[in-house]
Structure 1
């Protein structure tokens, strides 16, 4: 049996996604179907696939509604290999843009959308410059594994950080070392992360801080997708790690340069602890239809 999937292609700083609407939860694609859609040679091509589904129509969405009844929409996100993921910082901005542009969610500038994810409910603020998502409370998590990377001669210690999904951040010594790393090959972690992890490689700016804003460069290998041009939660994790290493007096606002553009990261106090927010553009590129088995 074949199905015609009406989809939209979008991206946030080059981190690209295929989005489709399934409000009633009738079209739950298999991992192999998702991997086919994301394949850049035989499918549409994307770092991930996002289903727009009402929270009440899937179990994970019911948990989101229990957390916040305003979370009408759930971001059902899968990596390029078809595996589900807890959250995607670039993806959720593109997802809200998709909901708004398709008339599924009324949202004016300065207003906030409440979105369910597998990492919990996330608030996304609309503005004239794009979207900002509150990624919630972050945590040091996963210890300091030793990370081996192709074309980087010496294994480096990483710092485990969780921002709704797991990350390991590694500091490199120079722009040349960052540019030369071969991230087509998955980095090796010792000890390995039990649920896998996105691995970010960062180089601090020189100077690190300009006008009270920290500056870093980053590349990333995402679990289930490989190297991507950008990772929103990874940018947040990278900024948090560099602030942690910099120590007292480090800023709470950061400018993160990724291969696909620039992302903003901001840390701020909340009732349940410090939160981290991610801001950046969200673009819808084209719409199409794809026949899948």
Structure 2
């Protein structure tokens, strides 16, 4: 069996197997990805980040058309091997890998464009690590009912699209949040065609402190299960709570997840409101592994 080099990284506990494939030589099957991400028989991770040049992957053509300087493409796979459009924690870890391996540079005040299946994402340095401009967002009209083990009755969810689909559910208390059993897949009715990540949120008390909104969140990621953090899910949760809170709600949010704390910021642009995610990105170790 051939061996490949890998690096393990994480963003607030949302962990990834990183495989460098600049010229697109690896055609990793879903089964191979799932084996690499297996926590008992593989390296272990919530997903896999393949580091490939945009020109070397079919999906990179759209990224280069949008931004010719987007040399690198984040080919993201869920832990079960399925393809996902975007990962907010993953794009920060991806940027960290590019910089630490000198595949790219990022001078103070400049941006690093990274291609994804949800468009080009601009990454900058921040006080906590990196900030990724996730671009525009939409709120589809669908409001599915969400059934989850540990909730006595179904709860309505708010749909948020950040290039990947989310459903955000408001809970009444910390006890409800802690009482969820997310080893069981939440049921959405009606079920989105391509599934969705489901975020369960509780506001802090007070909700706003020093002009910053504060919430806690747990998440079930499609194709993965419960994770310690979900970047785009964090953003979706902040957007939903801001909508529920009304016009006086702030545009800066601090979101606590089981793996740490992330920052979310909404800001206007010429093409409409964008949303940015900031937080740490850490590379843990590197090695080689036999590829089945």
After TM superposition, the structure 1 = structure 2 runs for residues 79-118 of structure 1, keeping only pairs within 5 Å, are 79-118=78-117
Q: CA RMSD in A?
A: 0.8
Contact 1:220 1:228 in 2 (8 A): yes
Q: Which portions of structure 1, spanning 4 or more consecutive aligned residues, are displaced by more than 3 angstroms?
A: none
DSSP-derived class of the 2:135 partner: strand
DSSP-derived class of the 1:136 partner: coil
Give, in whole Å, the separation in 2 of the partners of 1:207 and 1:155: 26
Give, in whole Å, the separation in 2 of the partners of 1:270 and 1:86: 23
Contact 2:50 2:75 in 1 (8 A): yes
After TM superposition, the structure 1 = structure 2 runs for residues 204-223 of structure 1, keeping only pairs within 5 Å, are 204-223=203-222
The equivalent of 2:202 in structure 1 is 203
Q: Give, in angstroms, the shift of residue 152 of structure 1.
A: 1.1
Gaps of 5+ in 1: none
Q: TM-score, normalised by structure 2?
A: 0.99
Give, in whole Å, the separation in 2 of the partners of 1:153 and 1:285: 40
The equivalent of 1:226 in structure 2 is 225
Give, in whole Å, the separation in 1 of the partners of 2:92 and 2:104: 13
The equivalent of 2:150 in structure 1 is 151
2:7 matches 1:8:
yes
The equivalent of 1:54 in structure 2 is 53
Give, in whole Å, the separation in 2 of the partners of 1:142 and 1:256: 25
Deviation per residue, 1:86-126 (Å, 9 max, x gap): 00000000000001101100113332100000001110012
The equivalent of 1:162 in structure 2 is 161
Q: Give, in angstroms, the shift of residue 5 of structure 1.
A: 1.2
Aligned pair count?
A: 292
